[in-house]
Amino acid sequence: MIKAGKSEVSKQDDGPDKKNEQPKDAPKTETTENDEIKKQENVESVNPEVQKNEENTENTPLADEQDTDNVNVEDGQPAPVEKPKRRFPRKALYICIVLVISVVIAGGVISVLIDRYGLGKTNKQIDITVPKGADTDTIASLLKKDGVIQYPFVFKIFYKRNHGKYNSFQSGSYSVNPSQGYEGIIEDLTDPSLNQNKATVTITEGQTIQQIAQTMEAKGVCSQKDFLNTLKTAKFDFPFASQIPNNQSRDYKYAGYLFPDTYTLLKNSSGKSAIQKMLTNFSGKFTPNMQAQAKADGMTVDQIVTLASIIQKEASDDTVMADVSSTFYNRLKTGINGKRLLQSDATVIFAKKNLTQSLTSSDAALSSPYNTYRSEGLTPGAICSPGIDAIRAALYPNKTNYFYFVSDANGKFYFAETFAQHQKNVETAKEAGATEGAGDLDTQQ
């Protein structure tokens, strides 16, 4: 009888059992209760510190992840630590904040001053009806509503500081001029008879200090002597005032700063109030952006005003002012034959103190710091009051290679890059009449 063999499954099951079989002669081991007790005691007697470590390890599953993140998988080296991002310096941030706040405050102060002096406002009369028993609050609100003033709160403070706490406004219908400022408005509303004591004064672009003084006297505001003496001795609190150099050669400190405009002024008053109003007007017109542009060009406000005054005298046509400005900048920066001479005829006329006398070639030798045929650079101060167009031209000149220009009697300008071209332009201009410009009195280079 043939015995059936073991199945393949049986063979696989038997394999591991054979390896674990003990030799026949080996003694059998029995597990006793004592052995189990000893094992239990060994487990319980494990060091408590080890247990703590194991617990901590279990409670911090991210530990392994952190270690793995800091190791380079390829070579086992620690991964490079990323450098912390640079933050904007706190000190620089504070400085920026302070600058922004300063600009905002400065803008607000200038805006209040412009309203207080009525600068840039209409010269047209505005009818105001003051009700009976109206107090300062009511008056301020009416003036604001009718567009006479912008800041009622400031108006009330001004009134109380200068006219006391008691209301002196009179009821009735009035005609007030916004351009005369708070003082003039209050006078109109408290004493209607003062309306007859106002003068409308217009200062035109290019007028000199002496011409402005003559206008003041002609309009009955103040005498020429009072006006000129005030310009020399009085102090005015404006940011730009401290930047004006104390130059002994300068005729008047505030030359160029009496801004051309139309003003309503009290007759028979002091020159100081008129000058204050003109300087306030300039302060509002020469904006912070203009100041920043001057600084970027390496120029001071006073240098810009001085250059603008020369441009104003040379070119009354605003369409050519930027080219005239460019010509002067080229002469200041590059020079001609090693000298930074503007050679402006307008400065020689100013130096001669005779604005109507014609120039001759001999005038180029006139000894004066205002004669730019002899003195390099800008004049010690402005030679007239420039308008806003001339100031802009001084700040933003065109980019050219011009070094010369001449104008004819019809106001046409001829610009040149070389002296030879300029000589031809002079001959052309002479055919149309008198000439004026940069380098006209030069006969050789």
Domains of the chain: 91-190 (3.30.1490.480), 196-285 (no CATH), 287-445 (no CATH)
Mean pLDDT of 228-236: 90
pLDDT score of 40: 53
| Mean pLDDT on 232-252 | 87
pLDDT-wise least confident of 112-116, 326-330, 339-343, 378-382: 112-116
23 vs 262, higher pLDDT: 262
Phi/psi at 405 (5° precision): -155, 155
Which pLDDT tens digit goes with each residue over 252-300? 999 999 999 988 888 888 899 899 999 999 999 999 999 999 999 999 9
Is pLDDT of 38 > 60?
A: no
Mean pLDDT of the chain: 79
End-to-end Cα separation, the chain, in angstroms: 143
> Is pLDDT of 420 > 60?
yes
Return the closest-CA partner of residue 290 out of 269, 267, 308, 313: 308
Q: What is the pLDDT of residue 98?
A: 80
What are the φ and ψ backbone dihedral angles of 414, each rounded to 5 degrees? -125, 120
d(C-alpha 351, C-alpha 46), whole Å: 109
Query: Rounded to 5 degrees, what angle do the CA atoms 348, 352, 358 make?
Result: 75
Cα separation, 436 vs 1, whole angstroms? 146
Q: Measure the CA–CA gap between 373 and 366, rounded to whole angstroms.
A: 8
In percent, how much of the chain has pLDDT > 90? Answer: 38
Note the pLDDT of residue 387. 97
pLDDT at 131: 84
Least trusted range by pLDDT, from 41-50, 149-158, 272-281, 374-383: 41-50
Of 83 and 55, the structure prediction assigns the larger pLDDT to: 83
Q: Is the pLDDT of residue 202 over 50?
A: yes
What is the reported pLDDT for 327? Answer: 97
CA distance 263 to 284: 15
Instruction: Find, among 324, 304, 332, the residue nearest to 437 by Cα.
Output: 324
pLDDT computed for residue 88 by the predictor: 59
Residue with tokens 């004049």: 379
Q: Is the pLDDT of residue 58 over 80?
A: no
Least confident segment among 52-61, 83-92, 402-411: 52-61
What is the CA 181 to chain-centroid distance, rounded? 26
| pLDDT for residue 437 | 63
Token pair for residue 374? 């002899």
Neighbouring CB atoms inside 10 A of 283's CB total 22
pLDDT band at 217 (very low <50, low <70, confident <90, very high): very high
CA distance readout (Å), 397 to 206, 265, 297, 327, 415: 19, 35, 11, 9, 14
Total-model pTM: 0.62
Which pLDDT band holds residue 86 (cuts at 50, 70, 90)?
low
Percentage, residues of the chain above pLDDT 70 = 74
The better pLDDT of the pair 166, 380 is held by 380
What does the pLDDT read at residue 197?
Answer: 74
The confidence score (pLDDT) of residue 440 equals 59
SS3 assignment for the chain: CCCCCCCHHHHHHHHHHHHCCCCCCCCCCCCCHHHHHHHHHHHHCCCHHHHHHHHHHHHCCHHHHHHHHCECCCCCCECCCCCCCCCCCHHHHHHHHHHHHHHHHHHHHHHHHHHHHCCCCCCCCEEEEECCCCCHHHHHHHHHHCCCCCCHHHHHHHHHHHHCCCCCCCCEEEEECHHHHHHHHHHHHHCHHHHHHEEEEECCCCCCHHHHHHHHHHCCCCCHHHHHHHHHHCCCCCHHHHHCCCCCCCCCCCCCCCCCCEEEEECCCCHHHHHHHHHHHHHHHCCHHHHHHHHHCCCCHHHHHHHHHHHHHHCCCCCCHHHHHHHHHHHHHCCECCECCCCEHHHHHHHHCCCCCCCCHHHHHCCCCCCCCCCCCCCCCCCCCCCHHHHHHHHCCCCCCCCEEEECCCCCEEEECCHHHHHHHHHHHHHCCCCEEECCCCCCC
Residue with more model confidence, 205 or 142: 205
Kindly report, residue by residue over 368-414, the tens digit of the pLDDT. Answer: 999 999 999 999 999 999 999 999 999 999 999 999 999 988 889 99
